[in-house]
Amino acid sequence: MQKKLKNGLWAIGFLAITGCGQNQNDNEIQPSIKPLFTKVNQVDSGIDFQNKIDDTKEHNILLYSNYYGGGGVGIGDFNGDGLKDVYFAGNLVPDRLYINKGNMQFEDATEASGITYHNGWSTGVSIADVNNDGAIDIYVTRELYDHEPERRKNLLYVNNGDGTFTEKATEYGIADPARSRHATFFDYDNDGFLDLFVLNQPPNPGSYSEFFGTPLLQNKYSSKLYRNIKGAYFEDVTEKAGLLRPGFPNAASTSDFNGDGWADIYVANDFYAPDALYINNQDGTFTNTIHESFNHISYFSMGVDAADLNNDGLLDLHVLDMAAEDNYRSKSNMSGMDISQFWRIVNRGGHYQYMFNNVHLNNGNNTFSEIAQLTNMATTDWSWANLIADFDNDGYKDVFITNGLLRDIRNTDSDKAVANHVNQVADTWVKNNPNGGEISIWEILDLQETLSLVPSEKLVNYMYQNQGDYQFENVIEKWGLNDPSFSNGAAYADLDNDGDLDLIVNNINEPAFVYRNNSTNNFVRFSLKSKSNQPVLNSKITLYLKEQQQFVELTNTRGIYSTSEQHSAHFGLGENSRIDSVRIQWPNGKSTIFAQPKSNKEHVLYLEDAIEVSRINQHKAKSLMKESNFLLTDSEHKENVFDDFSKQILLPHKMSQFGPAMAIGDVNGDGLDDVFLGASVGETSQLWIQGKNTKFKTKFNQSFSRSKFQEDIDAAFVDIDNDNDLDLYVVSGGNEFIAGNANYTDRLYLNDGKGNFKATGVAPESKQISGSVVRFEDFDGNGFLDAFVGGRHTPQQYPVPTDSKIYRNNGGKLSDVTAEVAPELVNLGMVTDALWTDYDNDGDKDLMVVGEWMPITILENTNGKFKKVALSNLKDTAGWWFSIEQGDFDKDGDMDYVVGNLGLNYKYKTSPEEPFDVHYYDFDNSGQKDIVLGYYNYGEHYPLRGFSCSSEQVPELKSKFKKYDVFASLNLEEVYGQDKLSNALHYQAHTFASLFVENLGNGNFRVHELPRLAQLSNINDFIVDDFDNDGNLDVLAAGNLYVSEIETTRNDAGRGVLLFGDGKNNFSPVSHLTSGFFANKDVRKLKPIQLANGKKAVVVANNNGPLQFFEFNAPEK
């Protein structure tokens, strides 16, 4: 019986793998006087569909993981009268078909139309013309009923053209009996007939591991691709196409993601099965490029939609997950993230998967950058459908999201309560029936009593208004959509033909929502048709309006379970009424160009009228740079394996992985720049010598081999002894060893003039620190370059700072003069970068220092002594800084600064009013100090980490708080105690935005945020130069942070960005397709280099990755 209990109740214990991470979105919802949408009640609309669900002993959420998954919506003109009709999928209730009678009034035509197969559990609705007869048909996917495959067979209702349908799935060969979630039609082979992709799941999450790699079971449960054979029947080509693959697909988008004219497939997989991006090879097969195209993906992927969110003409991708927005639900509906499970998935060919919504920005080169945190759309609770469309007709596509679950089966307390209750019932029965035989738990368990232990809470859906520049605001209340519900499938269309998009939402145990859109903005619509009834799906429509473009690709399904408007492209125009032109690229490769179409009407365009548009032989400008390989052998930095979290469980990120160091200079006196690349612990540093052929080869140095147990964090070529050759200073750092270990000793290598280096001591009287940066300047004017060395942290004691140092160079010998000239450098902070700069134009070099939990800090040089100056303009600049560089960007004669921060695309959010903070203290008197991170959510200060993670670090919490519910309800002070918090080491961050700091003179600064495209990730390094030769300084920036703890999505959206300056303190981001600079790895250093071929280049050093060269193209004549 115990075995039956374990195998039968899928939900108990499942949520032990869900995360305890947090979101800190603190948007205040403001009421509106005139809502954009009006809910039409069921009496007025005639739509009275309710997807009613009850748990029974035969079928319930404890037995079947998808029981509360709900059903879909299909919208299409089934009777050809020009009005959009609506089809609802029902689970325990019959599907219903409603015919649109006009003016948002509908009539139930289910029985009259022949929709009569009501003995199954319907999930998804897909609408398409499967036989090219001009009438759209309905395909319904079904699941549940494990032992009754006939009731699981999918249905195909073929439209008879007279208002009736005939079910013909078996005849067409697509009566798939698997557990199908949804299906989507697309013409994958471009033969003019719509093919079918069916999303199938195995019976339960546990079975995934059972059939993974087992061909027989793989075939049984795999999703299926069916090829349409000239509209007569479908052929299963799954294996032939390379799509026989296990998973838990919830939704799919069949869009042309790489722009080659052939539809691809993105599959959103639930649970631990990674999503897939199947690129169409144009030969009937597909290749999964999920690892090459995405740096990370969602964990429990739900709905998916593809659309152009930023009007750049490229399809972006939106994938839903189930992370809650508010502190209470996110902490009560979780356990602890299973670290071993996370890495097991990664190491077995899965992916980096995080429990957040994903917004994948299309980079235009078959890669995507994930920016959900930047857009504030990362957390929308247990989400289902996502629909991307311009709902307010302002020219920018908005995002509607449904959410809610009938019972919170991931509530950690109730999960345990249900398990305990079931075990108690079982134990009692065994005790009272010592001689009893085997019995099913369902014969003795009171199901309703058991389910009463699981909370149920209706949630409000989300509507994000696109405000441009990657900024989205949740306007669910402002737009009149704030109805609490358990919503699942949803679809949009212009149901009343008034020029805006209305919404239909399928709810559990509540009438479906019908929302009328009241937009008054201008619009235009293009309805695509074929006189021979050929499919128009995956047609691409580009609208040109003033300096703006909008782009739409027609696809069959959007979100989850549902089919929205699919044969027409809708564009909002805002207050504009004049359109320059529109271009339609049809699936057959032909195009239609329509000049100055009138606004506020629907234009009908036909495939047969399209023409071959020859490519005009226009001159295409070269990109500014191109990636080149100048290395004779491969060069790759290899990071050593070290588990920082075993030393400090609640670290926000690893501290051992901030290399490699890199330095550029001519080490052998041949007039050519060479490259030093630092190494991690256990590896040997590399020296690359450039030849006259612009090729680099390695040069062995015995001294480097002797330092292989030191972590190289920064390096500089410098003539330390004034003998006219470049010596090498290397900063040692990391976190692998305890504080004071000899492996934290910096190294100075003296050059014999030929590129041979010999190690010599660096200020032997100075204590070892885990360092971060070295910068040279002759601050005392004795003709020898002195050094500033930044201290990163006290190893294995985050966030305890360490000393930074100033070394005076006395004739080639370095001595520590910190105490004499800059005593405030002792424990200054967790320094990451620094500059020698004359910020006040007084003729001497001051120090500007940045770091983690530090404000931008200036130490002013007065007669060779350095002292911190407090500047009011910089008082709220405490952040997680990684880099700083200088230049006179406005040409006013003083130095301005660009400063690289964590960025605005990270889970952590902050402001001066509601700072992100850290406390470090022995909170449970265990003799070990603990890290406590704090954040604000809706105005209240909370612990960042969840109960499971927090109590692992501070075991006292387990006895103090018996339930997750209690911990989730308390603020930071209530959990840890104000007295202890007051005595803790405490730091705050006030901004995570990377900045441009304008120097106003006289010690005054004005702070500006860098453009949003420079906020996609942290910036680890800058190069300042006039890249476009216009006389104004520009900025090249790059960086990522792959070392986040696993409940925080790693910072990996950075792709490098070139910002053109205008000489007036304004910066414009340049597309990487124009700049040619694409650095999307874990970038640590950027350095300019002069090549032997006369060209300049940029060298990129990546952590645990290759050395990259981006060569500047020759100016065009």
pLDDT tens for residues 622-669? 899 999 999 988 889 999 999 999 999 999 999 999 999 999 999 999
> What is the model's pTM?
0.95
Convert the pLDDT of each residue in 83-138 to its tens digit: 999 999 999 999 999 999 999 999 999 999 999 988 999 999 999 999 999 999 99
Tokens 């650095």, residue? 1079
From the list 462, 314, 310, 503, the residue with the least C-alpha distance to 396 is 310
The answer to whether residue 851 sits within a structural domain is yes
Among 517, 533, 565, the domain boundary falls at: 517
Last residue of a domain, one of 517, 532, 547: 517
Over residues 255-283, the pLDDT tens digits come to 999 999 999 999 999 988 899 999 999 99
Q: Provide the terminal-to-terminal Cα distance of the chain, rounded to the nearest Å.
A: 82
Q: What is the CATH number of the domain that holds 854?
A: 2.130.10
807 Cβ contact list (under 8 Å, min separation 6)? 762, 763, 766, 786, 787, 788, 789, 814, 815, 816, 817
For residue 1072, what is the DSSP state? H
pLDDT tens sequence across 961-1007: 999 999 999 999 999 999 999 999 999 999 999 999 999 998 899 99
Three-state secondary structure string covering 99-111: EEEECCEEEECHH
Same domain for 446 and 595, yes or no, is no
pLDDT of 1014 over the 50 cut: yes
- Are 900 and 773 contacting, i.e. CB atoms less than 8 angstroms apart? no
Please, which pLDDT band fits residue 7 given cuts at 50, 70 and 90?
Answer: very low
Q: Are residues 188 and 240 in the same domain?
A: yes
Domain boundary among 517, 540, 566: 517
Transcribe 828-859 into DSSP letters: -BEEEEEEEE-TT-SSS-EEEEEEEEE--EEE
Asked if residue 604 is part of any domain, the answer here is yes
Residue count of the chain, please give it. 1117
Domain limits for position 1061: 630-726+773-910+990-1112
Instruction: Work out the percent of the chain whose per-residue pLDDT is above 70.
Output: 95
CB-based burial, 517-549: b 16+ in 10 Å, e otherwise: bbbebbbbbbbbbbeebbbbbbbbbbbebeeee
Q: Give yes or no: residues 339 and 260 share one domain.
A: yes
Determine the Cα–Cα distance for residues 1085 and 1079; give it in Å rounded to an integer. Answer: 11
Which residue, chain included where needed, has tokens 């179409």? 597
pLDDT for 216: 59
Residue/partner pairs of 698-704 with CB below 8 Å, 24 or more apart: 698/633, 698/635, 699/755, 701/749, 701/756, 701/757, 703/749, 703/757, 703/758, 703/759, 704/679, 704/757
In a domain, 1083, yes or no: yes
Map tokens 């990391």 to a residue: 734
CATH code, domain carrying 357? 2.130.10.10
When computed from its CA atoms, the radius of gyration of the chain, rounded to whole angstroms, is 31
Q: Is 432 in the same domain as 580?
A: no
> Residues 883, 933: one domain?
no
CA distance 642 to 142: 48
Number of domains the chain contains: 4
Q: Residue 206: pLDDT above 80?
A: no
| 590-619 average pLDDT score | 87
Question: What CATH number has the domain bearing residue 555?
Answer: 2.60.40
Work out the average pLDDT over 693-715.
96
* Unique residue bearing structure tokens 């080149």: 628
Give all strands of the β-sheet with 727-733 in edge-to-edge order. 711-718, 727-733, 747-751, 757-760
Whose CA is closest to 128, among 571, 564, 490, 501?
A: 564
Could you tell me the two tokens for 864? 């060779």
Residues 902 and 931 in one domain: no
Whether 740 is covered by a domain: the verdict is no
Residue 418 located in a structural domain: yes
pLDDT of residue 1114: 72
Does 975 share its domain with 1072?
Answer: no
Q: How far apart are CA 172 and CA 183, in angstroms?
A: 15
Identify whether residues 488 and 549 lie together within a single domain: no
pLDDT in tens, 416-474: 999 999 999 999 998 998 887 788 888 899 999 999 999 999 999 999 999 999 999 99
Answer yes or no: is 617 within a domain: no
- Do 340 and 236 share a structural domain? yes
Does residue 25 have a pLDDT over 90? no
What is residue 456's three-state secondary structure? coil
Average pLDDT over residues 203-208: 65
402, 510: one domain: yes
In this predicted structure, what is the pLDDT of residue 24?
44
Predicted confidence at residue 17, as pLDDT, reads: 35
pLDDT at 619 over 60: no
* Residue 31 in this model has a pLDDT that exceeds 60: no
Model confidence band, residue 140 (pLDDT cutoffs 50, 70, 90):
very high
Q: Confirm whether 756 is domain-assigned.
A: no
Same domain, yes or no: 505 and 540: no
| 332 CA to centre of own chain | 24
Give yes or no for a cis peptide into 823 (omega within 30° of 0): no
The answer, yes or no, to whether residue 21 has pLDDT greater than 50, is no
Categorize the per-residue pLDDT at 1083 as very low, low, confident or very high, splitting at 50, 70 and 90. very high
What Å distances lie between residue 686 and 698, 725, 729, 765, CA to CA? 7, 19, 14, 29
| Residue 481 · residue 465 · CB < 8 Å | no
Average pLDDT, the chain: 94
What distance in Å separates the CA atoms of residue 155 and residue 120, rounded to the nearest whole number? 10
| 641 and 665, same domain (yes or no) | yes
**For position 285, what pLDDT does the model report?**
99
279: CB partners within 8 A, 6+ apart: 257, 258, 264, 286, 287, 288, 289, 366
Q: Is the per-residue pLDDT at 874 higher than 80?
A: yes
What is the rounded distance in angstroms from the CA atom of residue 675 to the CA atom of residue 1106? 13
Answer whether residue 738 is part of any domain: no
Strand pairing category for 522-529 and 602-606 = parallel
Mean pLDDT for the stretch of residues 911-933: 98
Higher pLDDT, 761 or 750: 750
Mean pLDDT within 362-366: 97
**Per-residue pLDDT at 711:** 98
Question: CA nearest 87: which of 121, 110, 62?
Answer: 110
Q: Residue 434's beta-bridge partner residues? A: none
pLDDT score of 29 = 38
Q: How far apart are CA 426 and CA 405, in angstroms?
A: 28
The model's confidence at residue 1115, banded by pLDDT at 50, 70 and 90, is low
